[in-house]
Structure 1
Amino acid sequence: MNKIFETPIYAYKHSPDQDASTPVRHKVIVVGAGPVGLAAAIDLAQQGVEVLVLDDNDKVSFGSRAICFAKRPLDILDRLGCGQPMVDKGVLWNQGKVFFDDREVYGFDLLPEKGHRRPAFINLQQYYFEEYLVNRVRELEAEGAPIEIRGRNKVSAVGTHPEHVVLEVDTPDGSYNIEADWVIACDGANSPMRRMMGLDFVGRVFEDNFLIADVIMDADFPTERWFWFDPPFNRGQSALLHKQPDNVWRIDLQLGWDIDKEREKRPENVIPRLKEMLGDEVEFELEWVSIYTFQCRRMEQFRHGRVVFAGDSAHQVSPFGARGANSGIQDTDNLCWKLKLVMDGKAPEALLDSYDTERVHGADENILNSTRSTDFITPKSEVSRLIRDAVLDLAEHYEFARPLVNSGRLSVPCTYDGSPLNSADALGGPARTRPGSACPDAPLGDAFLLSKLGDGFTLMTIDADAPDEIEEDGIVVKRLALSVKDDPTYELKRRYLGDNDSAVYLIRPDQHVAARRPGFDDNQFRHAIRRATGKE
């Protein structure tokens, strides 16, 4: 068993807040030190916002849990200063295979184009992810950033007020009260914060269960995502195989609905299933076993006054498609720059309502894709199964049928179409970089585009003139001047210009496009800045 599960990495320490005669007020309190909560805290601390993280645990999560991290979250983590350790440790992959019965139906490539710094996906156990995020917190602390983690500080009650939030916190030394201007609830799918505030999910729970087994073994399977429909070793069901670091392999086996979950998790029942899949001659050791039920649900709204929900506490999707943690990281990426502007008085509080609008849109997109995946993976009638199997048969021989196969549409960046922060598109350029979209990377000589955008508002000009800096109502926008000549591969032109000769983009701090035009017009871009900050 990996000892990392047993080692406290933010051990309990008595805080002066516990001895204060009146509750101490903090700027932002993040509840939950999982990947989403830690990402939010790092983002805020890097912007100089005082942030406190409370968690009822003091160590990384037990078991690998989330393992697939997509390119978009990796790009975000680069901005947070902790992307490289993840990529260095993770298993990089772009390709996968789909099997039906005992035959390979087809393979796919998730990143067929060149000119990206990061791969389509890495596989990395969640406990490593959390460890690297905590390491980044420690780096920020050493640099004097206003960030702190308190382990074994369990929030047991919450009181909301127009101007602040009060939390009651239980510790080994007893309970104490603490206040915050803002609270970000990242306390997981069973969120105590959500329950204490009397809030709930809406959506579907599917009548199916999957066994997750993390297995330590030496195996010569390639570094790909393998998915089986109706395999010989799990008849009438499905299975998934993924490689992780340290010779750990993730195996998912569909079990059906009417099962005894505790019984199915016992080693004496898990090991025979795995031997049937891997063969009797393969030696392996169980690292972690769990059973999950497909759920596609979310809160009706993510912001409730001065408490904002993010990650699994706000929404749940089935694991196929890697949309859980990846979506949660995009939640905080969307939220933190807006919260910073509101706290600084540079944007109205209504800007936070756009977090709700945009990330509910993202959650609905994930739920739609996950629901479709679940319906394809687990057909609920014989007719549905016959249609599903016919599609798989056709996909083996005909390319047109392959997009119809749905073994989990894998996570892609969310585009905020219809967001109130978007300005009208006056360029008519590539659809992938329209207002609301996340900026795709592009090579720029010995560097990449996303590393040059930073974490503020950027006016990106491509073969167009513009001022080096604009200030509009307290918002400073700096210019990044580029030319297609900077990229001999012409990926910059393909991704941002299309058939146009020039372009000017207003890019938000979360590296989403707010506006684009063929050239610079001072009034138009000032209007776009005001719109992107919730002032129009």
Structure 2
Amino acid sequence: MNKIFEVPAYAYERSPDQDSVNTVRHKVIVIGAGPIGLATAIDLAQQGVEVVVLDDNDKVSFGSRAICFSQRTLDIADRLGAVRPMVDKGVQWDKGKIYFHNRQIYEFDLQPDTGYAHPAFINLQQYYFEMALVERVRELQANGAPIEIRGRNKVEAIGTHDSHVTLEVVTPEGPYNIEAEWLIACDGASSPTRRMLGLDFEGQVFEDNFLIADVVMEADFPSERLFWFDPPFNRGQSALMQKQPDNVWRIDLQLGWDIDREREKRPENVIPRLKAMLGDDVDFELEWVSIYTFQCRRMERFRQGRVLFAGDSAHQVSPFGALGANSGMQDADNLCWKLKLVIEGKAPELLLDSYSLERAQAADENITKSSQSTSFITPKSEMSRLLRDAVLDLSARHQFARPLVNSGRLSTPCTYHRSSLNSADALNGPEFTRPGSACPDAPLGDEFLLPKLAGKFTLLTIDADAPDRIEEDGVEATRLALSVKDDVTLDLKRRYLGDATSAVYLIRPDQHVAARRDTYEENAFRQAIRRATGKE
């Protein structure tokens, strides 16, 4: 098997900063070369913003960790130029099956609709995702983009100031100091950055533990999400199994609260559990084992002056539902265009507060989903368990009960319905493309819509007139003119027009709707640009 997590991906090299007489200041420093840190750095570099990534490691992650990546994450990775190796390697799936005891009670389809460039979900070990991003960094560097990864550069101290942030960094060749105009902490759930600044999470740690095992085996199980409530091989608990590339299967087994975590991770204790699930006749190899505790927590604010937090450093949810890494990718997607405008002087620093507010809303939604899933998966009283089991029994025979079954609400993009960046809705159009929504994809002949909306403000017109470009306070929006006459599948009409006969949308660089009207009205869209950039 390809053990890419054993080989340095960004080996230590001495930086000129270490030999400089004066402390060097960079535009942006990102701490953490995981998926969110790398995605953030790539996004900024593609926009011409100079960025340095510091990580105390020099390899991609060991173990599968985050494995389930949503369509929205793939859309973002497409914009970052990293999606193709992910989709080529990943296991695509859109169906799931739910079991109660030893019987299947129903199955679901996450994407019964068509007309999207990317699948509903892929399963892919986190180390492959990180490697795709590292390779994209190398491509950008070869083309002269201002991006650098410094492996085995551990940040030991941080000082915050009105105009910059200071960092003390330790390397194999000794310490050095460095400065950043802006610091982005993507250093995980235990975030040393958060600790050094005296900050903490708010939220709840639930009383349950789950065993995660990466199992290498050749098996005939389908490429679907398989979830069991109270199975015969794990009585009174739950289990989850999903396929990954390289014949690696991810298995999650609920263990309960009062356990010896180190003892449960030992192979002599893990293997009997897996044999009980898979059968004695199935040959498998144990590749990686971990134990996690349900946690639903977040920081109060994701911006602390010139320090911004993204991904697990800002918020935590339980793994069921694939809410963690996918939400972190949306953090990066939300943050980078705003930071670029602030750095260029085209938007006030207050625009960055909207990053915290919008992504805190997303975190709260995910925490609610995760908390509800936890309550259903791990009932806290006998009455709760009886009610849960009644719902499971009913769902085998009755459609109405199936939405009540909660084995983890899967990741969906957040609609920023409370955002101050939204303009009032002036189109009687579809609910899922109202201001604040993430734009859904749609086929455009042999191409797709979302790549044409990436990384810039866009005036999307559908059977409506508008200028080819409009500039307001240094921010430009360019027109993309479409017509339902060319909409063979009718997906564009259904997703963006509804019952309206024409529409004009202002789309943000992160492909979220800022404003929409039935026709172009210049003053309204100029005001929408000002509002979307934090000037109103």
Report the TM range for the smaller structure's normalisation: over 0.9
Preserved CA contact (<8 Å) 1:200 1:299:
yes
Q: Residue 467 of structure 1 aligns with which residue?
A: 467
CA distance in 1, matches of 2:359, 2:225: 28
Secondary structure at the counterpart of residue 4 of structure 2: helix
Hey, what does 1:441 align to over in structure 2? 441
Summarize the alignment of residues 406-425 of structure 1 with structure 2, pairs less than 5 Å apart. 406-425=406-425
Q: For residues 233-272 of structure 1, what are the structure 2 equivalents within 5 Å?
A: 233-272=233-272
1:66 corresponds to: 66
Structure 2 Cα separation of the partners of residues 125 and 63 of structure 1: 7
- Residue 117 of structure 1 corresponds to which residue in structure 2? 117
Paired AA for residue 147 in structure 1: I
Query: Equivalent residues in 2 for 1:262-301 (5 A)?
Result: 262-301=262-301
Is residue 428–residue 499 contact of structure 2 (8 Å, CA) maintained in 1?
A: no
CA contact (8 A) 2:298 2:363 kept: yes
Equivalent-residue separation in structure 2 for 1:453 and 1:340 (angstroms) = 17
Task: Return the offset for 1:486.
Answer: 2.2
Alpha-carbon distance between aligned partners in 2 of 1:51 and 1:42, rounded to the nearest angstrom: 9
Is the CA contact (8 Å cut-off) linking 1:338 and 1:352 kept in structure 2?
A: yes
Deviations 1:384-424 (A, max 9, x none): 00000000000000000000000000001110011000000
Q: Per-residue deviation at 1:3? A: 2.3
Within a 5 Å distance, the mapping from 1:505-524 to structure 2 comes to: 505-524=505-524
1-side partners of 2:206 and 2:462: how far apart?
48
The one-letter code sitting in structure 2 at the alignment partner of 1:266 is R
SS at match of 1:214: strand
Provide the C-alpha distance between the structure 2 equivalents of 1:6 and 1:117, rounded to a whole number of angstroms. 33
Residues 1:430 and 2:430 aligned together? yes
Name the CA distance, whole Å, in 1 between partners of 2:207 and 2:2.
33
Matched, 1:171 2:171: yes
Distance in 2, matches of 1:19 and 1:490, equals 61
Task: Please give the alpha-carbon distance, in whole angstroms, between the structure 1 residues aligned to 2:298 and 2:371.
Answer: 13
Q: Distance in 2 between matches of 1:405 and 1:141?
A: 48
5 Å-filtered alignment, 1:35-54, equals 35-54=35-54
SS of residue matched to 1:461: strand
Q: Counterpart of 1:489?
A: 489
For residues 19-418 of structure 1, what are the structure 2 equivalents within 5 Å? Answer: 19-418=19-418
| Partners of 1:247 and 1:152 in 2: CA distance | 32
SS of 1:505's partner is strand
Q: Find the residue that maps to 2:291 and give its secondary structure.
A: strand
Aligned length: 536
Amino acid aligned to 1:118: H
CA deviation after TM superposition for structure 1 residue 499, in Å: 0.3
Q: Deviations over 1:333-376 (max 9, x none)?
A: 00000000000000001000000110000000000000000000
Report SS of the residue matched to 1:354.
helix
Deviation at residue 435 of structure 1 after TM alignment: 0.2
Using the TM superposition, give the Cα deviation of residue 511 of structure 1 relative to its aligned residue in structure 2, in angstroms.
0.2
CA distances 1:278-320 after superposition (whole Å, capped 9, x unpaired): 0000000011000000000000000000000000000000000
Equivalent in the alignment of 1:458 = 458
Deviation of 1:2 after TM superposition, in Å, equals 4.8
Q: Which whole-Å deviations, capped at 9, do the CAs of 1:183-237 have from their partners, x for residues lacking one? A: 0000000000000000000000000000000000000011100000000000000
Q: Deviations over 1:76-129 (max 9, x none)?
A: 110000011100100000000000000001000001111011111000000000
Q: Tell me what 1:533 maps to.
A: 533
Distance 1:190 1:431 in 2: 38
Aligned residue type for 2:259 = I
Aligned-partner Cα distance in 1 for 2:16–2:84: 35
Gaps of 5+ in 2: none
Instruction: Please report the TM-score for the alignment, with normalisation by the length of structure 2.
Output: 1.00
Asked if structure 1 preserves the Cα contact closer than 8 Å seen for 2:64 and 2:127, the reply is yes
What is the alpha-carbon distance in structure 2 between the residues aligned to residue 294 and residue 454 of structure 1?
Answer: 35
Q: Which residue of structure 1 aligns with residue 476 of structure 2?
A: 476
Confirm whether residue 501 of structure 1 aligns to residue 501 of structure 2: yes
Question: In structure 2, what is the Cα distance between the partners aligned to 1:402 and 1:486?
Answer: 38
Q: Judge conservation of contact 2:435–2:512 (CA < 8 Å) in 1.
A: yes
Alpha-carbon shift at residue 276 of structure 1 (Å): 0.2
TM-score norm. by structure 1 comes to 1.00
Between 15-24 and 184-193, the greater mean CA deviation after superposition: 15-24
In 1, the alpha carbon distance for the partners of 2:293 and 2:485 equals 52
User: How far apart are the structure 1 equivalents of 2:496 and 2:85?
Assistant: 30
Cα distance in 1 for partners of 2:505, 2:3 equals: 48
Q: 3-state SS of the aligned residue for 1:133?
A: helix
Instruction: Output one character per residue of 1:52-91: Cα deviation in whole Å (capped at 9) or x when no partner.
Output: 0000000000101000000001001100000111001000
Task: Tell me, yes or no, if the aligned pair for 1:73 and 1:330 is still in contact at 8 Å.
Answer: yes
Q: How far is 1:23 from its partner?
A: 1.1
Is contact 1:242-1:250 (8 Å) kept?
yes
2:324 aligned partner, one-letter code: G
State the shift of 1:428 in Å.
Answer: 1.9
After TM superposition, the structure 1 stretch with the greater mean CA deviation from structure 2, 485-494 or 150-159, is 485-494
